[in-house]
């Protein structure tokens, strides 16, 4: 692991790091905020998964999470959204919703994306092992959260790993890739046209198939221009109700899809995670 930069912030350290990933076959960059803590202490960790077009930098620079993490004693990890670098395939038409910056947190099985686009294994396996070896984290106390495509990632990774993540939350998540254009394009391109293989990457389908979360918090802005066509929050409300899944899904009046929205409610989400991580 190579240190790209470190800055003191709120008496802790905000770092950006990179390493060569054996899973993606590329160099990957991520950020970690470590609050001030007693020597030898192990801290709970919250993972933040970003959305389409983003890198680790979006939330690191605009998420306004450090003051809350410092007060609550939370480590905050923000990975990238896709593999990058020479030879990594992109959308052939250069669209923003597929390819670079749009890994969708899946393990691709379709050529040419199957060689590098292994974001599920990167987030679920490789990066946690690296974080555990390099930072003072208590891996028995993990939460996960995300925005938009990253909200989809947080929900599905949490549903597939309920024993690992004690708290799952999301801002403006894509709740059902099976039922929106973003999801149909990405999952067809990455894992093929057989929609039965998509269910493990769809939070509503996972709930229908029996997966459960310890708890769930979702905030969605009513002025989000992606709400009706892509996000479809009502499908998650219906799926949680049908499954008896404990969830607080809040529609926030007048808020859009931007980091102005995310930063407004970030503190509330981190407090909610801290309460569940102990």
Query: Catalytic site residues?
Result: 148, 224, 257
Going edge to edge, which strands form the sheet with 75-79? 2-9, 12-20, 27-34, 75-79, 43-49, 137-147, 165-171, 216-221, 248-252
Residues 6+ apart with CB under 8 A from 71: none
Are residues 139 and 163 in contact, defined by beta-carbon separation less than 8 angstroms?
no
142 closest CA partner among 167, 117, 118, 125: 167
Beta strands in 67-210 (DSSP E): 75-79, 137-147, 165-171
- Number of Cβ atoms within 10 Å of the Cβ of 207: 25
A 10 A CB-CB count for 261 gives: 21
Phi and psi at 53, nearest 5°, equal 75, -10
Tally DSSP H helices, then E strands, for the chain. 9, 9
- DSSP state at residue 123: I
Residue 43 in tokens: 């801290």
User: What is the Cα–Cα distance from 243 to 240, expressed in whole angstroms?
Assistant: 5
| Both tokens assigned to 141 | 């106390």
3-state SS class at 144: strand
């Amino acid at each position: 692991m190579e240190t790209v930069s470190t800055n003191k912030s709120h008496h802790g350290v905000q770092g950006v790091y990179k390493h060569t990933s054996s899973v993606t076959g590329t160099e990957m960059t991520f950020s970690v905020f470590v609050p001030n803590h007693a020597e030898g202490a192990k801290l709970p960790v919250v993972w933040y998964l970003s959305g389409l077009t983003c890198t680790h930098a979006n939330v690191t620079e605009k998420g306004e999470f450090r003051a809350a993490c410092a007060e609550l004693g939370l480590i905050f990890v923000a990975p990238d959204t896709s593999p990058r670098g020479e030879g990594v395939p992109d959308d052939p038409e250069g669209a923003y919703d597929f390819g670079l910056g749009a890994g969708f947190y899946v393990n691709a099985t379709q050529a040419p994306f199957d060689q590098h686009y292994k974001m599920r294994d990167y987030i679920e396996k490789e990066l946690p092992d690296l974080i555990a070896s390099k930072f003072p984290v208590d891996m028995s106390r993990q939460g996960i959260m995300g925005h938009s495509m990253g909200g989809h990632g947080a929900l599905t990774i949490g549903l597939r790993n309920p024993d690992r993540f004690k708290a799952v939350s999301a801002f403006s998540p894509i709740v059902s890739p099976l039922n929106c254009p973003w999801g149909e394009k990405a999952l067809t391109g990455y894992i093929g046209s057989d929609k039965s293989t998509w269910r493990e990457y769809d939070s509503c389908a996972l709930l229908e198939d029996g997966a459960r979360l310890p708890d769930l918090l979702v905030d969605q802005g009513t002025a989000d221009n992606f709400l009706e066509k892509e996000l479809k929050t009502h499908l998650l409300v219906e799926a949680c109700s049908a499954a008896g899944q404990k969830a607080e899904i809040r529609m926030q009046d007048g808020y859009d899809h931007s980091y102005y929205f995310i930063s407004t409610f970030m503190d509330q989400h981190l407090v909610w995670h801290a309460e569940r991580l102990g």
